[in-house]
Structure 1
């Protein structure tokens, strides 16, 4: 039998049938992506073990829902750099030509499709709540793209989808050596 939890921000989340520590919402309008609807999933969450998770996740979601198209455009350069770094690392493919023709970095979003949003607690160092957006992208079909926002406020990682919330975690570096994470305010 499926259980439910309640978020004051997004309502009821149902327990996933395969992963007992995953809780999924219905589709929610996401202002950051021009109100495109996506499900939001709380992951790695056991209600009896983390009494503050829902409250902290709700605060992160409130922060994240304040981010709009202008905020997305403010990180276009980082998304574009992720694309160009990847294209420089692979053999030339004519199919990538539209990506090479981008003149305005904001055009990069035409090649990115958000697919799901995960809310989770980082289980090391800061133990903070992170909003992780998994995306498909035209330049990296296998591993896609992820955008990670600490407390839902500020981008602290943009990378392929590798399961890590921070560059520091991905490469086992100190947080202060993580360029975006160390700028978190």
Structure 2
């Protein structure tokens, strides 16, 4: 196995295909000889998975944005301690479906001007940014249609509707400009195979 510790995250609106592309990238990198850990947020560790059900299920107004920020940060801290940092210490490539950028958007932007609180908590409790962030960008209407078609119980944020998705898309693109050193924007409106080719190329270039 190659030993090139790297922390790669996928971001994007609901239904953008992040999870599919994260799995495809994990398979592609393993085929190239990399030792890969594929994980997700919220979740990725036993404690964080318990919090996942609290924040992704139920009525859209179940939690205030402030409470959500605390829950997501708690889940992320457990995930970081138990999964991400140990894997990186072993020289593995960690691929994560969502990370702090999603909290910056969904809680810090969409439900009030709380970005400052998100960043303060992140600096205090997390203190780690990805090495590479792949933003799968797509039309919000198409993404929401795809997300709704999944028919899972984890639809709390999708239930906020298309207006939220449009706001999130603008926000993610703004983040890509703000953190241009680590973000790469990929057109997610194409076939999964075409998107995967770009994703794999960008990741391998970064790891080289």
Whether TM-score is above 0.5 comes out as no
TM-score (normalised: structure 2): 0.21
Greater strand proportion: 1
TM-score (normalised: structure 1): 0.23
Greater helix proportion: 2
> Which structure would you say has the larger RCO, counting Cα contacts within 8 Å and 6 or more residues apart?
2
